[in-house]
């Protein structure tokens, strides 16, 4: 059983930065890609960024491209999301996601509990 725990959310001002972390455990021997999704109030959960197990390939939603950076440290079993130049529309609950999946940006079976990010204008 894969277990994911996000941290690092909070309140930021427009133009500010936050760094999210996701500690993952379980799934020993399984080399999964990992992703961040987010869900704003009243909206559906949407893809933000994803990274392959090796870290050699990353993809981003157009809305965050150039502002957010996804990375991972497999030795520490952690996934990160560096968020710069934050906008009010980035306000959402951010979820860590992993497991087997057909494509890098597809939702996978395992989810964290989420961490709230609020950007004030």
Q: From first to last of its 121 residues, what are the pLDDT tens digits of the chain?
A: 899 999 999 999 999 999 999 999 887 666 899 999 999 999 999 999 999 999 999 999 999 999 999 999 999 999 999 999 999 999 999 999 999 999 999 999 999 999 999 999 8
What 3-state DSSP class applies to 107? coil
Strand ranges (E), 1-121: 3-7, 10-13, 18-25, 34-39, 46-51, 58-60, 68-73, 78-83, 92-98, 110-111, 115-120
Q: Can you tell me the distance from the alpha carbon of 21 to that of 6, in angstroms, rounded to the nearest whole number?
A: 6
């Amino acid at each position: 059983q894969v277990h994911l725990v996000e941290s690092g959310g909070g309140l930021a001002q427009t133009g500010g930065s936050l760094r999210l972390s996701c500690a993952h455990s379980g799934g020993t021997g399984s080399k999964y890609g990992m992703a961040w999704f987010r869900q704003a109030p009243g909206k559906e959960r949407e893809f933000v960024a994803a990274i392959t197990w090796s870290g050699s390939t990353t993809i981003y939603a157009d809305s965050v491209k150039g502002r957010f950076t996804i990375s991972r440290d497999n030795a520490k079993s952690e996934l990160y999301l560096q968020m710069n130049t934050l906008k009010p529309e980035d306000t959402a609950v951010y979820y860590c996601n992993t497991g087997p999946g057909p494509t890098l940006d597809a939702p996978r079976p395992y989810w964290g509990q989420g961490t709230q990010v609020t950007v004030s204008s």
